[in-house]
Amino acid sequence: EAGVAQSPRYKIIEKRQSVAFWCNPISGHATLYWYQQILGQGPKLLIQFQNNGVVDDSQLPKDRFSAERLKGVDSTLKIQPAKLEDSAVYLCASSIGQGAKAFFGQGTRLTVV
């Protein structure tokens, strides 16, 4: 079965620019997660969707980050404007339901210079 697909794999941008990441979850998975992983740390949950509704976005910096999951399938995460401290790997994961085991994509490595 196909896994969680993310693109791009790598992205380098200058500070104050904007960037968007795309995630295609495993077919039929209702729950979708976005994580930020800074080098040397565990993944930090940014936002969790159940179908196309937001379950939790308490750790999403809403002044610059936004995420949507139209039609309850694919999702995009946007940063505008980017800061140097946003340099990290952005991971997308999906699960068949809340509480079920999650499957992760390979992530997008963002470097802000």
In single-letter form, the type of residue at position 57 comes to D
Q: Tokens 């999650």: give the residue.
A: 102
In whole angstroms, the minimum distance from the beta carbon of 69 to another protein comes to 16
Which listed residue (14, 56, 68, 85) binds another protein by CB under 8 A?
Answer: 56
The residues near 24 (Cβ < 8 Å, ≥ 6 apart) are 4, 5, 6, 73, 74
In whole angstroms, the minimum distance from the beta carbon of 21 to another protein comes to 13
x/- binding map, residues 6-45, to another protein, per CB under 8 A?
---------------------------x-x-----xxxxx
Residue (52 or 106) nearer to another protein, CB: 106
49: closest CA among 66, 67, 24, 26? 67
Residue (78 or 109) nearer to another protein, CB: 109
Using only C-alpha atoms, the chain has a radius of gyration, in whole angstroms, of: 13
